[in-house]
Chain A
Amino acid sequence: MEKLLAELKEKIVEILNLPDVAPTDIRENEPLVGGPLGIDSIDVLEMVIMIEKDYGVVINNRELGAKVFATLRSLADYVQTHAAEPAS
């Protein structure tokens, strides 16, 4: 889990091109979207694609996205739970 959290932090900073955010600035239990990181709904969609591409986990509607991307931990939990599922 710790490895996944660290990996997600790196990826988020990179794909969202967050200029003044270091991976360590992302707190696992703080709101990921709408807070001081400056991450918004468009970024969530970009992360959705990354999660599907890199982990094979599909988040195909906005309601689910809002829950999954609530915090970094909720994202990591969701990825860990669903990445193991066989492809349907």
Chain B
Amino acid sequence: MTDSPVFIVSMGMISKLGSDSAESALALRHNHGRFTPLTLFDAGPDGPLPVAELTDLPVVSDPPRTHQLARLAADQAMAACIKPPEAIILGTTTGGMPATEIALEKGIDDPGAFRHHGVGTVAEDLARRYGCSGPLITLSTACASGATAIAVAAAMIRHKMVRRVLAGGADALCRLTYFGFKSLQVIDPAGARPLDRDRRGMSLGEGAAMLLLSDRPRSKDDLQLLGAGLSCDAHHPSTPHPEGAGALAAMQAALADAGLRPEQIDAINLHGTGTPDNDRAEALAVNALFDGSPPPLSSTKGFTGHTLGAAGALEAGIACLSIQNGVVPANAGTRTVDPALSLAPVASATSLSVGTVLSNSFGFGGNNAALVVGKPRVDRSGPGGSPARPLIVTGYACLSGSGRTAETLAALSARDTCRGCLSEPVICRDLNPRSVRRLKRLSKIALALAEELRQDVAESDRPQVISMGTGWGALSETSDFISRLQASGYQFPSPMDFIGSVHNAPAGQIAMLMAAKGANLTTSGGDYSFEQALMSADLVTRGSIAPALVMGADEAHATLSPLFDPSAAGQTSLSDGGGAILLRRGDTTDGVRIALAGYRSHRQPDAIEATIAGLGGANALNDRFGAILAGMPVAHRALAMEQLDRFVMQSGFSGPIIDFRPLTGEFATATAIAAVAGIHWVNTGTCAAGETGGHPMNLDGKGVLLLGLGRFITATLICAP
């Protein structure tokens, strides 16, 4: 089996450079674009900083600005496409935050006002718009999000999971990021001047870029996504590794993936934010990779500003424009290049025949992504080869209102409730007080899960890849940051809370705890966030032997959970927790196997039938599975019950069905706890009885099927060796 090539058959982009590809190409050729003082919202007592704001975009809150930008870019990419994409993979950090922060300030307490809050709702909005009924994955890996999304999307095509994916990134300016980065003192008051001797930081921007990726070209000129590399610094929550070790690893992985040597790269689009630390670390990494003589390079953030989750996608698009137009863009804003960097960025747009471009994106949590785009290579024989071996479970842990792993599994196995919220001291039992002093609830839950596994596993099974799903992210830090910001009249934001508020903060903390320097992914898609994490981990570890940690966790927050999570809204008491599973590639005889076998929208007319078919049909399903764990979020319970009835009718399944949400309580990643319970049952050969207090049931060597129902239908297989 050879890997499929990944063609970029169309793209759309919007940023300060222009409202589409043609305008952007023209602006890049003529070195157009500079920053203007922020007008979108009140900049507080210090006055507005320079930003790359899209002043022509109407200011409305429904849909939120990030969704609007994603639509504008995606409409361009989909313009000539009749068929819907089979999957949408999107990188974003803000999601509905531009509207949420306003609603919170106004004291609105109607959950309906927050229905676009989740970062996953941007992809859902696009899926509705183009009729996509396949899997959606939202990567929220800070400033690496857009590039990470493209890397995951490319893997889907490479490994023939789908043939056509819409992938990219979007982020709008909002108060949270503006005041957050300002509190970190990484904004240059004179406007970003990447690589300049006098640089003092970045300038924020906003925008979106979407690429339609396909396994076949639409025209002979279509470019290819030749390679992608992901890594994690595992060094610091917000500062890059001083020598750029993680950046170098990501670039090396991207080149290896593309099958290219450094001298075959014609140009580099740097991450180049303009912060002293980033530019220094990136320069060291680039010089190390290219042995001191890199190809022509520039950062385009002097034009676009730093568009955060959109940046990686936008710059992949700019890399395509570079190749298509034979122009290397200028490193805008820079007057005197910092001699300490030993780099010679392109001073003015330069005509040059460009066949391959390396594009870098690095973010908080030490998350790094590098992409290689280029003209199709006829000589390319991908790493490909044999199909990936299955993912085998080597360890598991979970945490719920009833306690840690042992207590939670005991409760679920007796079909008892484990609802509620565990106290902080119990969560922090094994954590070093000094290393968690700045962390709030979600990061502590995630670290507690990771620490429990770390203590139990052999050195060789320690994970390199971390993939964490979270429905709502770090709510405590988000809430504390916004309340203090608003209470102080936009004067005293907390830098600590800002760093902790990003969705990928917990996964970054785990990477530091585990010294995990492989891909570090954070996915978020409401009730299906855990499934997204499992699918992403599977995709980025094909053809690798790196052990992976796949997990799901959410925190309950008294104010925000009922506003954001429609299933938490009507609950008399909140619940939280999560589950973590350690995986490595192996043979089916090596241990319990886990795999995502279905992920589709409920709007697909035959979603249930297709799911059953994907499991090998009714007979195979009954032969393989002794029990079903059914996840039915209470906000969509009527729909889910109908789906479950249909599933049982169509499959003839007669074993026990464990409706786990009433046991775990209502939170987005309760699915991760259910997955751990399923693994535990398959491991021990018995599962929860049909009713509370009943005798455990023998699985007779069969597996457990974890069924996600509601707005999406997911099927996760947990199979015995």
Contacts and interface: CB of A to CB of B under 8 A. Distances in A.
B183 A61 contact: no
B495 A16 contact: no
A41 interface: yes
B72 to A, nearest CB: 35
A12 B496 CA distance: 14
B441 to A, nearest CB: 14
Given A53-B492, A61-B200, A48 B438 contact: no
A64 to B, nearest CB: 10
Contact of B437 (A17, A45, A48): A17
Interface string A20-56: 1000000000000000001001110110110011000
A80 interface: no
Contacts of A42: 237-238, 438, 495-496, 499
A50 to B, nearest CB: 8
Contacts of B177: none
Contacts of A38: 434
A86 interface: no
Interface in B326-363: none
B493 interface: yes
Given A18-B437, A20-B434, A46 B496 contact: yes
B185 A46 contact: no
Most buried by A among B488, B492, B493: B492
A46 B481 CA distance: 12
B325 interface: no
A54 to B, nearest CB: 10
Interface string B405-435: 0000000000000000000000000000110
B184 interface: yes
Given A19-B434, A42-B495, A49 B183 contact: yes
Given A20-B433, A65-B185, A49 B495 contact: yes
Contacts, number: 45
Contacts of A46: 494-496
Given A42-B495, A49-B493, A61 B438 contact: no
A16 B439 CA distance: 11
Contacts of B185: 45, 48, 60-62, 65
A61 B488 CA distance: 20
Contacts of B499: 42
Nearest to A19: B433
Nearest to B182: A60
B469 to A, nearest CB: 26
Contact of B488 (A48, A53, A60): A53
Query: On chain A, which size bracket covers the interface?
Result: 10 to 19
B239 interface: yes
Contacts of B434: 18-20, 38
A53 to B, nearest CB: 5
A45 to B, nearest CB: 4
Contacts of B200: 61
Query: What is the predominant secondary structure among interface residues of chain B facing chain A?
Result: loop
A19 B185 CA distance: 26
Contacts of A16: 437-438
Given A19-B433, A60-B185, A62-B185, A41 B239 contact: yes
Contacts of B488: 53
Nearest to A38: B434
B155 to A, nearest CB: 34
Contacts of A48: 185
Contacts of A49: 183, 492-495
B492 A17 contact: no
Interface in B484-519: 488, 491-496, 499
Nearest to A18: B437
A41 B276 CA distance: 14
A16 B434 CA distance: 10
Contacts of A19: 433-434, 437
A61 to B, nearest CB: 6
Interface in B149-199: 183-185
Interface string B220-259: 0000000000000000011100000000000000000000
Contacts of B438: 16-17, 42
A41 B499 CA distance: 12
A41 B277 CA distance: 12
Contacts of B237: 42
Q: Most B CB atoms within 10 A — which of A43, A52, A60, A62?
A: A62
Contacts of A60: 185
A49 B499 CA distance: 15
Contacts of A45: 183-185, 495-496
Nearest to A52: B492
A63 B662 CA distance: 54
A18 B433 CA distance: 9
Contacts of B493: 49
B364 to A, nearest CB: 11
B445 to A, nearest CB: 18
Contacts of A52: 491-492
Nearest to A60: B185
A43 B496 CA distance: 8
B499 to A, nearest CB: 6
A65 to B, nearest CB: 7
Contacts of A53: 488, 491-492
B16 to A, nearest CB: 25
B597 to A, nearest CB: 43
Contacts of A18: 434, 437
Contacts of A43: 496
Interface in B430-459: 433-434, 437-438
A41 B491 CA distance: 20
Contacts of B437: 16-19
Nearest to B432: A19
Contacts of A17: 437-438
Interface of A: 16-20, 38, 41-43, 45-46, 48-49, 52-53, 60-62, 65
Given A45-B496, A49-B494, 6 more contacts: A17-B438, A18-B434, A20-B434, A41-B239, A42-B495, A45-B183
Interface of B: 183-185, 200, 237-239, 276, 433-434, 437-438, 488, 491-496, 499
Please provide the 4 A-B residue pairs with the shortest distance between their CB atoms, ordered closest to farther. A45-B495, A19-B433, A17-B437, A53-B492
8 contacts: A18-B437, A19-B434, A20-B433, A41-B239, A49-B492, A52-B492, A53-B492, A62-B185
